[in-house]
Chains A and B, each alone.
Chain A
Amino acid sequence: MIEIEKKGHLHPLTQVTWEVCQAFEELDFEVAEGPEIEDEFHNFDALNVPADHPARDMQDTFFLKGFSNLLRTQTSAVQARFMEGNKPPLKIVVPGKCFRQEATDARHEAQFHQIECLLVDKGVTVAHLKGYIDLLFKKLYGEEVSSRLRPSFFPFVEPGFEIDMKCFNCHNTGLVDGKNCSLCSGSGWVEIGGAGMVHPNVLKSVKLDPKIWSGFAFGFGTERLAMIKYGIEDIRKMFDGDLRLINQL
């Protein structure tokens, strides 16, 4: 009888996080983190989302009984925390778990992960944001991959963007074996994250002068990256602890 040597496997989210953070670390970004239970200030107010503003509805929030805290809805909460304690220029990458109070289905989970980066320095422009996004994608998905920006809105950035990546599955043609590409639904592009130039109000909230400092931030849904990479069709499979999935990857 052979002793069957079962190999151990990393969770797909760890794999993706490692790859992204490695790429950022090569670009001199340092890993930062923050608490999963946040206060309203860091999760909302410092990020230019005032109380009673409809922008708060963009993220359905879990609140705690008997405490004024909440479960953070975005890793961007770490932006303000880090800038409070560290002087620019700064470059950080923040992987972490977030929560949204929304009905779950194959594409939505009450808990999920994000990876985002923040760069604050003098004279940072949209052109630099584009430069870093491209560089990261090339490191992750190969030289042929590039990205494009579309207008969008996140309260803590201005201008704000959606990031699309050239679909590597169909090589931007929209077709695989004559059929619509399953990854990009035939568009040739994959929606992959959000980005923007740090809003002056965010800099002010951490006592930085927006006349001197500027910066950009961009981030991705970690599950989305993993689901794209491995063709996983249901986000809930990430958290059911089933080795029949994990040990395939």
Chain B
Amino acid sequence: MAYSYKWLQSYFDTSLLSVKEVEDGIIFHAFEVEGVEEKNNDSLLDIKILPDRAHDCLCHYGIAVEIGAIFNLPRRVNSSDYREFKKEFSNNKPERSLSVEIKDSELCRRYIGRMVENITVGESPAWLKERLENIGQRSINNIVDATNYVMFDIGQPMHAFDADKVEGNIVVRLANHGEKLTTLDGKDIELAGNILVIADNAGPLAIAGIKGGNRAEVDQNTKNIILESANFHPTNIRRTSNTVGIRTDASKRYENELSPAVADTAMDRLSSLLNQIACPPNLSEGEIRWGEKIDIYPNPQSKRIIKVSVSAINAILGIIVPEEEIISILERLEIEVSKEGDKLKLEIPFRRVDLEIVENIAEEVGRIYGYDKIPAKLLDSELSKEEEKEAAKRYRVANKIREILVKQGFSEVYGYAFTEKGEIEIANPLANNKPFLRTNLSTWIKEKLAFNLQHVLFDTEPVKIFDIGRIFKKDGEKIKETTSFVFGVARRGTKQKIGDMVNRELMATKDVLCQELKMMSCPTSDTLVQIDEVGNFSYAQIETSFDDLVSITGKFTEPNLDQFISLPVEYKKVSAFPRIIRDIALFVSESVDPEEVSGVIKETAGLLLAQDPVLFDVFIKEGKKSLAFRLVFQSYEKTLLDDEANEIMNKLADVVRETGWEVR
């Protein structure tokens, strides 16, 4: 949510620290700040509130409390935006009375209604518009803006109905089957029987806690209104919100559970604000007539008491925070602290629904005190080294397979679990035509063999890859999740021509695997191997159960993958444009190191050279050494033209000659 720095400042009589300091304070003691934006002479802090604090911090007041606690700053009880409002209601009684009935006190925990007559609907004052617009809310009219303001100020969603469009009294009840409602934004909603509504004698006026209906909408001609400040059961709001497919700022707050105690404060704030901004423009039109608050609150919440010792808090944090400091921190967070024997008795403010156990209190103390003040310590654990467990063994076998295969020239790929066809289907797949879980790895490996074969540099170069991963099948009515292992080799050429060769390579690798894993017997080939040709390439692959493999391995040497760990290098991006391949062959004197030649080529060819030159031929003839390199040219921006490659090759030839070498 976006928080206005100016709005937060309205909670303090002294000037706040700089925006940057406030931001850092929040980051290190409370919440993540995802960004700060400057707008209309204000700074907007985008603060990420997680579900544990959505009860009390999806509003400026909550953040103001945090800032006060973090910086130990005295804070006003309410924002200076409100003007004090202590009107004697009896002097100006409304003509109409209001009655409220709650049919289900579990789903609606509190409902405060108030009849207000003779208001003036109009534009909001500039300061209010600015407050709302700065945090990304559109100004509608003074009445609606005031309800929104109160929600973003103290977190309580508010609603206003046009009283002249309400027939009879307010009832909070479950919808009757077949009832319908058109929302304020014109959406027709069919109401099911488990949806809680605010209704009058004529039917539903609003979906409770989620969205108002258009029947009693406040408009330019509205004179009399009914204000609502209510509290609804979080789970029911969440379910209804899902059922009707509407999420609003109100529903988001209710589903995170608000304290019903806040509803009353919110009604007072809204009244004070309206009295300030919705009065008739001149005396001849009379004054606003305020009705009493009609407060239906069947089971008033009582304050939560937590008793905790200072040592229990410190035992969680691993540091000694002095008692006075703990008390000060908690009091800054509006927790009332008193001593009871050797314990602290904490009276938790209503709005802090999240504070229930000693661990919660330790977190409050720790974060405000500062996690940076906690020292780093190690623990002397007395672990009895038991026998190796199955999972640890599986991990070791997997790494051994990796070690063996990488030594054999295989590279490891990780595939997707999602496929087009399979046995286990995802109920809510992403829209990518892959709603199933894979039943094997080899289908994908075959594709990747073909894919990577397109990029080899030489026609005779093989592609060798492997993957170890879970596959998912149905076993009767059950799910069968197993780990599979696949490795495959592919080369260009027909099966007739090179099929045997590819097969032999694969079998040789399999034999090395069996040997290195010290298996008693090597599974026979024909049950496992797939060999075929596709287009212009032939491949062979074996997919087998990793789980079975683990059970038949013997005492193999410990895997060590350190030798294959790459340094933290910046990898070179793969270009999406086609490459051009050229060869260069040259004679150099026998003493010249091919590395030196490669270096000269790299330097001359420049940025379009996509990878290091590959030396593919060396021979010595009459005291001269012949070297042949294959070069790959590729651009990140476009398809390279032959001419461009030619130009580089010509330049290269010149440089080679100048160096005293000879182009063959």
A119 near B465 with CB under 8 A, answer no
| Interface residue? B566 (CB, 8 A) | yes
Encode contact with A along B614-645: 1 for CB under 8 Å, 0 otherwise.
Answer: 11111000000000000000000000000000
B409 near A52 with CB under 8 A, answer no
B458 near A4 with CB under 8 A, answer yes
| Interface residue? A6 (CB, 8 A) | yes
| Interface residue? B77 (CB, 8 A) | no
Bound complex: CA A248 to CA B411 (Å): 11
Whether A99 touches B30, Cβ cut-off 8 Å, given contacts A89-B383, A249-B571, is no
| Interface residue? B448 (CB, 8 A) | yes
| Interface residue? B316 (CB, 8 A) | yes
Encode contact with A along B10-29: 1 for CB under 8 Å, 0 otherwise.
Answer: 00000000000000000111
| Interface residue? B38 (CB, 8 A) | no
Chain B residues whose CB sits within 8 angstroms of the CB of A62 once the complex forms: 426-429
| Interface residue? A66 (CB, 8 A) | yes
What secondary structure prevails in chain A residues at the interface with B? mixed
Chain A residues whose CB sits within 8 angstroms of the CB of B405 once the complex forms: 8
| Interface residue? A207 (CB, 8 A) | no
| Partner among A9, A104, A131 whose Cβ is within 8 Å of the Cβ of B564 | A9
Closest chain-A Cβ to B585's Cβ sits at a distance in Å of 12
Encode contact with A along B398-422: 1 for CB under 8 Å, 0 otherwise.
Answer: 0100100111111111111110000
A2 near B616 with CB under 8 A, answer yes
Closest chain-B Cβ to A174's Cβ sits at a distance in Å of 14
B402 near A14 with CB under 8 A, answer yes
A246 near B412 with CB under 8 A, answer yes
| Interface residue? B657 (CB, 8 A) | no
Closest chain-A Cβ to B630's Cβ sits at a distance in Å of 9
For B51, B319, B458, which residue has the most chain A Cβ atoms within 10 angstroms?
B51
Q: How many chain-A residues does the 8 Å CB contact rule pick out?
A: 97
A:25-82 near B, CB below 8 Å: 28, 30-33, 35-37, 52-55, 57-58, 62-67, 69, 71
Inter-chain contact total with CB atoms closer than 8 Å:
278
Encode contact with A along B459-476: 1 for CB under 8 Å, 0 otherwise.
Answer: 001111100011010000
A:98-112 near B, CB below 8 Å: 99, 101, 103-104, 110-111
Whether A10 touches B617, Cβ cut-off 8 Å, given contacts A54-B51, A161-B371, A249-B566, is no
Chain B contact residues, CB within 8 Å of chain A: 27-32, 50-54, 234-235, 238-239, 255-256, 315-319, 357, 359-360, 362-363, 366-367, 371-372, 374-379, 381-383, 388-389, 391-392, 394-395, 399, 402, 405-418, 424-430, 437, 444, 447-448, 451-452, 455, 457-458, 461-465, 469-470, 472, 479, 481, 561-562, 564-566, 568-574, 614-618
A–B Cβ pairs within 8 angstroms, 15 of them: A10-B412, A18-B565, A22-B562, A54-B238, A57-B51, A126-B318, A130-B376, A131-B377, A132-B379, A151-B363, A152-B32, A158-B359, A162-B32, A239-B416, A248-B572
* Extra contacts besides A89-B382, A241-B415 (11): CB < 8 Å: A9-B412, A15-B564, A28-B381, A54-B54, A101-B430, A123-B379, A134-B376, A150-B27, A197-B316, A199-B359, A229-B568
